[in-house]
């Protein structure tokens, strides 16, 4: 009966049965708790052999796998419904299930397998299992059905970014195992679909020019923000650090320059969309503001009589146009994943009007920014 064996750091399709050491290795690797993301199988998957019928009800991956790729902490979980249409009880053991990753049916030596991680009767709990029920076989009386979940652990191997045909094999006491194709990149519709991440990080470089009589200055800023998408809107909150150089105005400084830092927040929404689903373009509007503290950048001070630096509180607001380019995509994995829904933009450019309140007055200006999301 086909099974998993370890050889040179990979799991190959071999001829020996799964032993206690292989099961123990898989369970030990699952010791750390992980969270899971639910996938949608694009087509119904079922199979019948010798009156044992299986339906795939749900599939899960550890939530970092779509974004970071398959590694030693990756876990695949499958929810099954097994029906015994025979006249004798059927017994299945989740720990004896095999999950194969086939890249070419003509080259069986290149077929790999995920490590067994156990399973149990009932609904998948959404977390890694304990040791209390993972070795128990499930008995299905004649004419009845049972829900079973099984778990498999991934690992990194050469070519891990190439999608493969994912096959689940359920061994039977006699005859060939029951085989289900969970996903197949050669069949365009037999894939796993998943919504893109709703949150990420953005780093931005911003240039601001202020040209009012109250404050004439140039500001160079770096922003690090947490971005989330809610429908058509993108919301951000983060930290901003700036260097302000005054050429004319009300700020007091021996060097005419200030270092600033504070909190920023903004919201944006597109009003037109074009391009492809993989490389979209969005043009929209944004609005936001920053609260910061400006601290005078002083020259070296005498040790016996240092002068305290001047500081100011500042509040800024801005509104303008935002161009989003591209989209944040999932990492390439051996699992055929299809992203559905609107993803976060990969690049963004901003052009806007800004107003600063500082030192008892206001100053107008314009701002430009370039941002990268991940």
Tell me the pLDDT tens digit for each residue of 79-94. 999 999 888 888 888 8
Last residue of a domain, one of 147, 163, 193: 193
Both 44 and 74 in a single domain? yes
347 CB-near residues (< 8 Å, 6+ apart): 324, 325, 326, 370, 371, 372, 373
In order of 116, 118, 151, 253, the CA distances from 76 in angstroms are 10, 11, 6, 60
Task: Inform me whether the pLDDT recorded for 310 exceeds 50.
Answer: yes
Range with top average pLDDT, 50-54, 196-200, 283-287: 283-287
Task: Inform me whether the pLDDT recorded for 372 exceeds 90.
Answer: yes
Both 349 and 243 in a single domain? yes
Task: Inform me whether the pLDDT recorded for 17 exceeds 90.
Answer: no
Both 207 and 177 in a single domain? no
Both 189 and 50 in a single domain? yes
Q: Are 182 and 167 in contact (CB under 8 A)?
A: yes
Q: What is the pLDDT of residues 92-120, one digit of tens each?
A: 888 889 999 999 888 888 899 999 888 88
Entry pTM: 0.72
Both 189 and 211 in a single domain? no
Give me the pLDDT at residue 341, please: 82
Both 121 and 229 in a single domain? no
Sign, CA dihedral 179-180-181-182, equals: negative
Last residue of a domain, one of 193, 223, 257: 193
Residue 75 binned pLDDT confidence (cut-offs 50, 70, 90): very high
Locate 89 and state its tokens.
């009880």
Last residue of a domain, one of 161, 193, 225: 193
Both 204 and 250 in a single domain? yes
Q: Are 138 and 91 in contact (CB under 8 A)?
A: yes
Average pLDDT over residues 319-337: 92
Residue 315: name the closest of 252, 351, 368, 262 by CA.
Answer: 262
Helix (H, G, I), strand (E, B) or coil at 95: helix
Pick the residue with more confidence: 374 or 215? 215
Task: Inform me whether the pLDDT recorded for 19 exceeds 50.
Answer: no
Task: Inform me whether the pLDDT recorded for 14 exceeds 60.
Answer: no
Both 83 and 222 in a single domain? no
Both 188 and 203 in a single domain? no
Both 131 and 238 in a single domain? no
Residue 246: name the closest of 218, 208, 220, 206 by CA.
Answer: 218
Residue-number span of the structural domain to which 12 is assigned: 3-193
Question: Domain count of the chain?
Answer: 2
Q: Are 367 and 223 in contact (CB under 8 A)?
A: no
Q: What is the pLDDT of residues 250-296, one digit of tens each?
A: 999 889 999 999 999 999 999 999 988 788 999 999 999 999 999 99
Both 213 and 170 in a single domain? no
Both 173 and 307 in a single domain? no
Residue 264: which CATH number? 2.40.160.20
Q: Cα-flanking dihedrals φ and ψ of residue 271, to 5°?
A: -120, -5
Task: Inform me whether the pLDDT recorded for 66 exceeds 60.
Answer: yes
Residue 32: which CATH number? 2.60.40
Task: List b or e across 312-347, with b for residues whose CB sees 16 or more CB atoms inside 10 angstroms.
Answer: bebebebebebebebbbbbeebbbbbebeebbbbbe
Residue 202 binned pLDDT confidence (cut-offs 50, 70, 90): very high
Of all residues in the chain, the percent with pLDDT exceeding 70 is: 89
Residue 247 binned pLDDT confidence (cut-offs 50, 70, 90): very high
């Amino acid at each position: 009966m086909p099974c998993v064996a370890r050889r040179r750091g990979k799991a190959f399709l071999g001829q020996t049965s799964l032993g206690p050491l292989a099961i123990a290795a898989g369970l030990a690797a699952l010791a750390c708790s992980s969270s899971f993301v639910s996938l949608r199988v694009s087509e119904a998957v079922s199979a019948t052999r010798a009156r044992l019928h299986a339906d795939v009800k749900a599939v899960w991956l550890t939530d970092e796998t779509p974004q970071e790729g398959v590694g030693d902490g990756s876990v695949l979980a499958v929810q099954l419904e097994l029906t015994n249409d025979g006249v004798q009880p059927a017994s299945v053991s989740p720990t004896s299930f095999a999950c194969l990753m086939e890249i070419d049916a003509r080259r069986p030596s290149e077929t790999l397998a995920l490590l067994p991680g156990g399973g149990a009767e009932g609904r998948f709990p959404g977390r890694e299992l304990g040791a209390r029920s993972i070795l128990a076989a499930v008995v299905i009386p004649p004419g009845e059905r049972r829900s079973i979940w099984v778990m498999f652990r991934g690992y990194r191997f050469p070519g891990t970014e190439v999608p493969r045909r994912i096959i689940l094999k359920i061994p039977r006491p006699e005859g060939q195992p029951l085989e289900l194709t969970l996903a197949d990149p050669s069949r365009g519709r037999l894939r796993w679909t998943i919504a893109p991440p709703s949150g990420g990080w953005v780093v931005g470089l911003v240039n601001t020019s202020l040209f009012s009589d109250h404050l004439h200055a140039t500001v160079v800023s770096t922003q690090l923000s947490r971005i989330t998408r809610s429908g058509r809107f993108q919301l951000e909150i983060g930290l901003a650090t700036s260097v302000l150089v005054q050429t004319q105005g009300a700020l007091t400084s021996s060097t005419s320059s200030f270092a600033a830092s504070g909190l920023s927040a903004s919201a944006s929404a597109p009003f037109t969309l074009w391009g492809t689903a993989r490389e979209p373009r969005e043009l929209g509007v944004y609005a936001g503001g920053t609260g910061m503290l400006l601290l005078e950048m002083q020259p070296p001070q005498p040790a016996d009589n240092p002068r305290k630096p001047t500081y100011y509180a500042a509040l800024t607001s801005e509104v303008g146009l935002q161009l989003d380019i591209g989209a944040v995509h999932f990492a390439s994995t051996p699992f055929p994943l299809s992203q559905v829904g609107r993803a976060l933009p990969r690049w963004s450019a901003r052009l806007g009007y800004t107003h600063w309140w500082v030192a008892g007055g206001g100053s107008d200006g314009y701002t430009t920014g370039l941002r990268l999301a991940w």
